[in-house]
């Protein structure tokens, strides 16, 4: 087996992916720098590695599909902290639903309005509407409104990483210190990537982030087409 075959091996690529991710987490913990987001560092490193090793993305994608299998049970597992905080959530049910409803509408209107004012084409504008929900929902919403799903998927990743890196800093500057408020804000704005960052803070942060992720996904899937229609883009 030559070096290229070894580097292209499924198990080597899997090991490399996990190794880079956990190393990035360790570096962030040691240096306490939010910029060392494990997902961002892993993406950057793997792109450079695949280019230097002359490995086609399709080869890596086959290896990555073994990780994809575990994403579904991982998402289901987000329900565990949610269940543990159920009593607290019940007490704040009305504020939670109202904040999610307003947050969903404001999120769609703001990004669509800014993109339109800055001269983006209608297709691009429609592709940005679902930026703050998890990728499968975002892509389906984009397909239904006539946008570009591939562009949406890319934007969703960047939004999630930005929220995971900057979200808690922005909330702190806004003097929002309550764990439930921080968690639901991060989950709503930064979907699964933000929820992962919230989980690292505490169980309460993670529970409310999971709730924000779920409710914002549902509201966006239902309301985004109507909001876009009212704004004259459909």
The residue extents of the domains of the chain are 3-67, 93-230
Contact 133, 217 (CB under 8 A): yes
Backbone angles phi, psi at 121, to 5 degrees: -70, 165
Place of tokens 């404001």: 106
Contact 148, 124 (CB under 8 A): yes
pLDDT of 1 = 56
Confidence band, pLDDT 50/70/90 cuts, at residue 208: confident
Express each pLDDT in 78-91 by its tens digit. Answer: 677 777 777 877 88
Q: Give me the half-sphere count of Cα atoms (radius 13 Å) on the Cβ side of residue 31.
A: 12
Higher local confidence (pLDDT), 233 or 212? 212
pLDDT of 147 = 86
Ranges 33-37, 125-129, 184-188, 205-209: which has the least confidence: 33-37
Given phi > 0 = left and psi -120 to 50 = alpha, else beta, which region is 2? Answer: beta
Rounded to an integer, the average pLDDT of 114-129 is 89
CA distance 205 to 195: 8
CA distance 153 to 44: 17
CA distance 216 to 222: 10
pLDDT of 62 = 81
Nearest Cα residue to 150 out of 160, 163, 135: 135
Rounded to an integer, the average pLDDT of 46-62 is 86
Q: What is the pTM of this model?
A: 0.78
Nearest 5 degrees, angle CA 74-CA 56-CA 8? 75
């Amino acid at each position: 087996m030559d070096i290229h075959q070894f580097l292209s091996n499924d198990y080597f690529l899997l090991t490399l992916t996990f190794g880079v991710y956990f190393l990035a987490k360790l570096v962030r913990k040691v240096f306490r720098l939010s910029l060392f987001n494990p997902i961002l560092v892993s993406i950057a490193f793997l792109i450079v590695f695949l280019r230097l090793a002359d490995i086609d993305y399709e080869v890596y994608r086959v290896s990555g599909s073994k990780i994809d299998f575990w994403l579904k049970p991982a998402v289901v597992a987000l329900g565990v902290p949610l269940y543990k905080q159920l009593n607290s959530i019940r007490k704040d049910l009305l504020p939670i639903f109202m904040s999610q409803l307003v947050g969903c509408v404001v999120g769609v209107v703001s990004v669509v309005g800014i993109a339109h004012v800055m001269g983006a084409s209608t297709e691009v504008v429609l592709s940005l509407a679902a930026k703050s929900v998890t990728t499968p929902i975002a892509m389906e919403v984009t397909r239904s409104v006539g946008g570009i799903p591939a562009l949406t998927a890319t934007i969703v990743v960047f939004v999630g990483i930005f929220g995971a890196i900057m979200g808690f800093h922005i909330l702190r500057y806004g003097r929002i210190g309550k764990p439930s408020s921080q968690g639901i804000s991060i989950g709503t704005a930064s979907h699964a990537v933000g929820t992962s960052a919230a989980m690292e803070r505490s169980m309460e942060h993670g529970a409310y982030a999971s709730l924000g992720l779920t409710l914002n996904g549902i509201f966006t899937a239902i309301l985004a087409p109507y909001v876009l229609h009212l704004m004259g883009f459909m």
